């Protein structure tokens, strides 16, 4: 990495220092997401780590099919794909609370959902203080506002458990074929930065372990704020022109982040990731020659828009919960067979 790796103390006290200390070196800036974009680990992180950990912490295994269905929709298959983990939990709990079929299942199995208000309060606190949504700001919220609220410690425990599990699963998944070559090519013309809602340490570990960290100047994780904020700070510090800023991402949040900064977007469509990297060199050449916006971006954005769901299955005509759960069953089974064969997974 061009800038020294941040320590745990620096992450707590001044996580944005890489952004603020960044020095422009090239005429172009490229922001790159990681999960589901550089590496095919989005399904694995959610299905093998995020969701089972939450069910374990809160005793929700009795509604596993409902929880997985809703959490997968928000995290993987809809326009909120790639959103922050606490935002995803907020959306998931509110949806579960609102569904009559879930209420019935909860009553039959004597299960209580965790209080979403605690998540609401934390998110409002972090956003009000312009803090990134992550463990450091959650700890700050607990210490300053609710030091005796055990339920918040439980939420923090879940998030910490998620982070501790990453190295055993997602870190083992290599980048898509062609990513390293694309980074080498881009680095000749552009300053590169990682923009993600994954914790900084996990990002740094992954990029270093895969031998690709030296291509990027900044690694911006969830502790540094939103993706839009990451790009905003780097763009302002570097003084890049609008059409000289490009974001490579797989979620609508990535698109919104760069468009909030008047930049351009190259989508890595879910399920067609390798195709996107195979075609990237031609798109990047158009970008540095000033032709990308007019000749290609619109077409790619149309394809990207069609790849993400806007309406959840439980709101569609003829919805059947078991059939809906089974649609993603083979994905879950293959991941568990590969990375956690002894793990707990409901098969219907």
Q: What is the pLDDT of residues 152-199, one digit of tens each?
A: 999 999 999 999 998 887 777 889 999 999 999 999 999 999 999 888
Is the model more confident about 189 or about 35? 189
CATH of region 8-40+175-306: 3.40.50.1000
pLDDT tier at 52 (50, 70, 90 boundaries)? very high
Mean pLDDT of 26-31: 97
pLDDT tier at 1 (50, 70, 90 boundaries)? low
CA dist., res. 80 & res. 70, Å (int): 12
CA distances from 251 to 33, 273, 279 (A): 9, 12, 18
CA dist., res. 78 & res. 88, Å (int): 11
SS3 344: coil
Burial class (CB in 10 A: 0-12, 13-18, 19+), 128: exposed
Q: To 10 degrees, what angle do helices 135-145 and 116-128 make? A: 100
* Contact indicator for 232, 19 with CB cutoff of 8 Å: no
pLDDT at residue 348, rounded to an integer:
96
**Stretch among 81-95, 112-126, 156-170, 284-298 having the lowest mean pLDDT:** 156-170
Task: Tell me the pTM.
Answer: 0.81
* Contact indicator for 283, 266 with CB cutoff of 8 Å: yes
> Average per-residue pLDDT in the chain?
94
Domain positions in the chain are: 8-40+175-306, 42-170
DSSP alpha helix (H) spans, the chain: 8-13, 17-21, 42-44, 51-58, 64-72, 85-98, 100-109, 116-128, 135-145, 150-165, 179-187, 200-209, 227-238, 252-259, 273-278, 280-288, 292, 298-306, 321-327, 329-339
Mean pLDDT of 61-80: 96
Is the model more confident about 21 or about 180? 180
Mean pLDDT of 134-152: 96
CA distances from 308 to 26, 37, 287, 295 (A): 34, 14, 25, 23
Mean pLDDT of 96-121: 98
Q: Is the pLDDT of residue 15 over 90?
A: no
Among residues 184, 186, 190, 261, the alpha carbon closest in space to that of 24 is found at 190
Mean pLDDT of 15-28: 91
Q: Is the pLDDT of residue 306 over 60?
A: yes
């Amino acid at each position: 990495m061009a800038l020294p790796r941040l320590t745990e103390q620096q992450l707590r006290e001044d996580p944005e220092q890489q952004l603020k200390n960044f020095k422009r070196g090239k005429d172009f800036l490229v922001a790159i997401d990681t999960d589901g974009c550089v590496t095919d680990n989005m399904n694995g992180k959610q299905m093998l780590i995020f969701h089972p950990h939450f069910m374990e912490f809160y005793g929700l295994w009795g509604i596993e099919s409902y929880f997985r269905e809703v959490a997968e929709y928000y995290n993987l298959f809809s326009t909120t794909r790639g959103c922050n983990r606490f935002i995803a939990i907020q959306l998931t709990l509110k949806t579960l609370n609102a569904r009559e079929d879930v209420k019935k299942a909860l009553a039959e199995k004597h299960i209580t959902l965790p209080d979403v208000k605690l998540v609401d309060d934390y998110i409002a606190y972090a956003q009000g203080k312009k803090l990134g949504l992550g463990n450091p700001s959650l700890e700050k919220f607990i210490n300053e506002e609710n030091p005796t609220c055990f339920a918040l410690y439980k939420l923090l425990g879940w998030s910490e458990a998620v982070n501790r599990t990453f190295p055993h699963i997602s870190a083992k998944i290599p980048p898509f074929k062609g990513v390293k070559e694309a980074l080498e090519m881009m680095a000749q013309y552009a300053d590169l930065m990682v923009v993600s809602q994954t914790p900084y340490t996990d990002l740094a570990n992954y990029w270093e372990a895969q031998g690709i960290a030296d291509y990027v100047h900044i690694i911006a994780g969830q502790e540094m704020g939103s993706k839009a904020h990451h790009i905003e700070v780097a763009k302002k510090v570097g003084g890049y022109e609008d059409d000289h800023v490009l974001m490579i991402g797989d979620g609508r949040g990535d698109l919104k982040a760069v468009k909030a900064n008047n930049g351009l977007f190259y989508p890595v469509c879910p399920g067609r990731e390798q195709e996107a990297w195979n075609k990237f060199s031609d798109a990047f050449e158009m970008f540095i020659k000033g032709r990308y916006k007019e000749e290609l971006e619109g077409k790619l954005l149309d394809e990207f828009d069609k790849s993400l769901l806007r309406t959840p299955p439980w709101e569609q005509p003829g919805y059947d919960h078991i059939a809906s759960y089974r649609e993603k069953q083979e994905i879950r089974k293959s991941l568990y067979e590969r990375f956690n064969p002894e793990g707990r997974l409901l098969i219907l």
